[in-house]
């Protein structure tokens, strides 16, 4: 095909995009231009997403080390067997889940309630968005510095405030039982704004006349929330909850910065285990296997989300 004819076909097909325009020519004439548009993304995608995923899978079956070149011999399922039989793996998986359990309900429920209130109020929305969302744009390192100071034993604002009302403050980050809840509190403060904004957007899509009609039928505010707002926000809630679970499972920064996984490894998350094994102990193959096991957990959560969304779409 000469250049000229190919250009000609392109032009004709361009018209074919409109559903009303007459369709002429085959469906393949735009292939070459399309390849040009897709190439930069696809090449980078293969190099830095698909390629590394396959390479990571491969590494997970080897004894690869950070300080030795090459794959250093195949290990079969050895790394997986070791991970599944190791206390460190299960405890860091449990810490990650425990963190997810501690953060998801408050972040979803508070995000919903506060967005609902802000939406009802109408006025001063910029102020609430500032208060709740501003922490979300801060780097984790800034958040960690601020909260380490708030949690400082005896001198910190929290301890002083609790002492003033006659309560004995716990040893926030120093106590194995309290460290994770403390990290969860910090995280709720830090990331609530994200869910708040998602819910606020969802609320604004609910038509106002639904509420007016309900009010006309004598429904009070509480009934309106129960019978209109909550069902109408079903999809938003699924989305917020799943994004939240995935974000919480990927936790690393807070622990790394605030407790270094301590005290006594009580807050080491699965990603920190990958970091420790791969980059402190140089066990690349083992770290890759732990990454893959973690990836399976994330995929399972995403799969649950897909089924939920499918089901919701069928109902609607």
* Rounded Cα gap, residues 143 and 19, in angstroms: 52
- Name which of 163 and 177 has its Cβ closer to other proteins: 163
3 state SS of 62: strand
Residues 68-107 binding other proteins (CB under 8 A) are: none
- Cα–Cα distance measured from residue 96 to residue 180, given in angstroms and rounded to the nearest whole number: 10
CB of 302 to other proteins, least distance (A): 5
Q: Name which position in 5, 15, 81, 105 contacts other proteins (CB under 8 A).
A: 15
Does 128 interact with other proteins (rule: CB under 8 A)? yes
The answer to whether 115 and 203 are in contact (CB under 8 A) is yes
User: From CA 76, how far away is CA 182, in angstroms rounded?
Assistant: 40
Among positions 132, 172, 178, 265, the unique one binding other proteins when judged by CB under 8 A: 132
Cβ proximity to other proteins, 157 vs 167, nearer residue: 157
Return the SS3 of 25: coil
Cα separation, 175 vs 6, whole angstroms: 71
- Taking the complex as a whole, the smallest distance from the CB of residue 294 to other proteins amounts, in Å, to 6
Q: Is the Cβ of residue 101 or residue 201 nearer to other proteins in the bound state?
A: 201
Closest CA to 201 of 243, 235, 248: 235
List, in order, residues 6 or more apart from 302 with CB less than 8 Å away: 242, 246
101 vs 138, beta carbon nearer other proteins: 138
We find the least distance from the C-beta atom of residue 271 to other proteins, in angstroms, to be 6
Residue with tokens 């407790």: 259
Tell me whether residue 197 or residue 228 sits nearer to other proteins (CB atom): 197
- Please, what is the minimum distance in Å from the beta carbon of residue 299 to other proteins? 6
Sites for other proteins among residues 145-184 (CB under 8 A):
145-150, 152, 155-157, 160
- Applying CB under 8 A, the site for other proteins has a residue count of 111
């Amino acid at each position: 095909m000469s250049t000229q004819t190919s250009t000609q076909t392109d032009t004709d097909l361009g018209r074919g995009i409109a559903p009303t325009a007459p369709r002429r020519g085959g469906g393949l004439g735009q292939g070459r231009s399309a390849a040009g548009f897709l190439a930069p993304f696809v090449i980078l995608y293969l190099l830095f997403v698909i390629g590394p995923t396959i390479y990571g899978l491969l590494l997970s079956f080897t004894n690869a080390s950070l300080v030795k070149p090459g794959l250093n011999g195949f290990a079969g399922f050895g790394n997986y067997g070791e991970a599944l039989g190791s206390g460190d793996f299960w405890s860091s998986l449990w810490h990650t889940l425990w963190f997810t359990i501690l953060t998801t309900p408050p972040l979803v429920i508070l995000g919903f309630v506060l967005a609902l209130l802000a939406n009802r109020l109408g006025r001063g929305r910029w102020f609430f968005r500032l208060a709740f969302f501003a922490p979300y744009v801060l780097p984790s390192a800034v958040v960690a510095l601020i909260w380490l100071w708030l949690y400082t034993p005896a001198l910190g604002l929290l301890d002083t405030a609790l002492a003033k009302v006659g309560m004995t403050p716990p040893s926030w980050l120093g106590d194995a039982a309290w460290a994770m809840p403390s990290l969860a509190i910090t995280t709720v403060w830090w990331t609530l704004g994200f869910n708040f904004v998602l819910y606020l957007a969802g609320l604004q899509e609910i038509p106002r006349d639904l509420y007016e009609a309900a009010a006309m039928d004598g429904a009070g505010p509480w009934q309106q929330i129960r019978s209109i707002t909550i069902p109408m926000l079903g999809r938003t809630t699924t989305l917020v909850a799943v994004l939240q679970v995935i974000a919480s499972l990927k936790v690393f920064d807070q622990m790394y910065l605030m407790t270094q996984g301590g005290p006594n490894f009580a807050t080491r998350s699965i990603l920190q285990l990958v970091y420790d094994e791969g980059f402190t102990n140089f066990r690349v193959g083992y770290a890759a296997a732990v990454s893959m096991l973690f990836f399976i957990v994330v995929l399972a959560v995403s799969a649950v989300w897909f089924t939920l969304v499918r089901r919701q779409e069928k109902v609607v």
